[in-house]
Amino acid sequence: MISVAIDGPAGAGKSTIAKTVSKELGFIYVDTGALYRAIGLKFMNVGFDEELNCDIAKVLEETKVDIKFINGEQRVFLNGEDVSDLIRTPKASLMASAVSAKPQVREFLLDMQRRLARENDVIMDGRDIGTVVLPDATVKIFLTASAKERANRRYKELIEKGMEVNYEDVLSDIEKRDYNDSHRAIAPLKPAEDSVLADTSDCTLEQSVELILSIIKERLDNK
């Protein structure tokens, strides 16, 4: 099986790009960030904030996260409810960052992610795919862009979904999540040593997709 690991900071376009590339290559797309967002949503629903001052193991015992591919699209279910849209708010993003720093949560989701890669040709994106989840991935890419460009993309995405957001708040959330993700003790955000850096600050979506496709094809040709 072929596995492509795409890591990078919040708002870098990993999900959109990886989803498009996976369709082009005929691979299964796995958005691991969505799994952490679903866990974060669970903690939000039971009344906890980013400090997570609670019995994490007990909450996880009451949590069931599923990925289903419906018409070729990944949908995320939390205890039987499709939460694919609910997990895309700025608050859910920060909660995802908070729960992803907890070793109990990472262990909870690790087996699911590795099983998907064993059974399918996959493109999997997240924060630590190439460093922790799939350290032997066939291709590793670290996808990034400037914080301002990432905030601008996320702001436009939220506005298009009809959400009332402020650009400065989105930028602040991006910068806060960058700091949290790169400074956490467990699996901090960083490029794998054998990853290819792809900076898309000045790229359109189409150019970004072409860049990632070219990196994957070049790496596979050299295997």
- Residue 67 has a pLDDT of 83
Domains recognised in the chain with CATH numbers = 3-218 (3.40.50.300)
> What is the rounded CA–CA span in Å between residue 188 and residue 211?
25
Q: What is the DSSP string of 108-164?
A: HHHHHHHHHHHHS-EEEEESSIIIII-TT-SEEEEEE--HHHHHHHHHHHHHHTT--
User: What's the pLDDT score for residue 111?
Assistant: 85
Three-state DSSP class for residue 170: helix
Q: Are 124 and 3 in contact (CB under 8 A)?
A: yes
Q: What is the pLDDT of residue 31?
A: 85
Q: Which residues of the chain have pLDDT under 50?
A: none
The confidence score (pLDDT) of residue 63 equals 92
